[in-house]
Structure 1
């Protein structure tokens, strides 16, 4: 008799992310998750108690990666920093789609999920502050247009992240192209 295969927490969270993005929070359930993992469904409970904890942990893991990468950026030159920040966001372009489900998580019976969602909210605030700081500095340096309100510049910047990569090029190259288009516009 062969040994039963199992899965790691990383595999569990990777699969959770994939399924939440494909099916949404409402369509995601533990039976579906277990169908996509090798090993017994009961193994899921060795890591997390319920759907809420798994999804919140998945969201937190993505946010931790984005936050760490964003805060590691050298902000000496605000335009270089904005380009690097865009690359961070392009690498994890599904972040906002994933976090869009956070409000659906019922934390009443899960203090772990509540803690993870609190971390996500604090990290989101930190990222907003960083982005605003970089945009303000770039405008002060006259690297960005002065006649455009900051919220417009930031909104267009964020919309770049959701631009479909129809060329299927690696994310870093795609991010560089998007940044060049944002900075230069479409006019020759």
Structure 2
């Protein structure tokens, strides 16, 4: 009978995410990860063969959560759907920080390559949803049509970089950001 693992895969990926956010991809390594998890470093290898696999799996997990939440949005009310989407993005506002290093991962590893392909496909799915909602909002004259769609979308995404200096809960913060954004984008 084998020794009980000291941590779960979920705990491993949660810690990976935390450390990537704190140290960046270049500062993240398996020794650092093992220092933040109970048990032997060798336990990490029961789940993943190397840094690239772990980081790619972390990226896949983060974007999977965003995709799951974004796909559950009721889009019948375009404005409400955009607000809900912003909230999902605010909750995972560090997504871009994590995914920004995807190009650094060596893709000779099939497992890492498959996870990165999933991330790329997921980005495309999110882009389609966002574009569809923005186009519909312009058609419904909820958003200004004199502002090009790429400008509206980029300012929407730039809201995620706004520091939450009041440390408001994510829902309250995203609602406030949305009100500021929509106030400058309305017809």
Equivalent in the alignment of 2:141: 142
1:105 lines up with 2:113 in the alignment: no
Shift of 1:63: 0.4
Residues 41-70 of structure 1 deviation map (CA, whole Å, 9 limit, x = unaligned): 000001101000000000000000000100
Contact 2:156-2:181 at 8 Å conserved across structures? yes
TM-score by length of 2: 0.95
Alignment of 1:167-186 (within 5 A): 167-185=166-184
1:126 lines up with 2:125 in the alignment: yes
Contact 2:5-2:43 at 8 Å conserved across structures? no
Q: 1 CA distance for matches of 2:53 and 2:145?
A: 45
Q: 1 CA distance for matches of 2:88 and 2:12?
A: 23
Classify the secondary structure of the residue corresponding to 1:145.
Answer: coil
User: What is the count of residue pairs matched by the alignment?
Assistant: 182
CA RMSD of aligned residues (A): 1.2
Unaligned runs of 5+ in 2: none
Equivalent in the alignment of 1:96: 96
Shift of 1:5: 7.2
TM-score by length of 1: 0.94
Shift of 1:181: 0.7
Contact 1:30-1:51 at 8 Å conserved across structures? yes
Unaligned runs of 5+ in 1: none
Alignment of 1:25-104 (within 5 A): 25-104=25-104
Q: 1 CA distance for matches of 2:112 and 2:5?
A: 28
Q: 2 CA distance for matches of 1:102 and 1:21?
A: 13
Residues 12-38 of structure 1 deviation map (CA, whole Å, 9 limit, x = unaligned): 101101111111111111000000111
Q: 1 CA distance for matches of 2:101 and 2:19?
A: 12
Classify the secondary structure of the residue corresponding to 1:98.
Answer: helix
Q: 2 CA distance for matches of 1:39 and 1:150?
A: 51
Q: 2 CA distance for matches of 1:48 and 1:29?
A: 13
Classify the secondary structure of the residue corresponding to 1:169.
Answer: coil
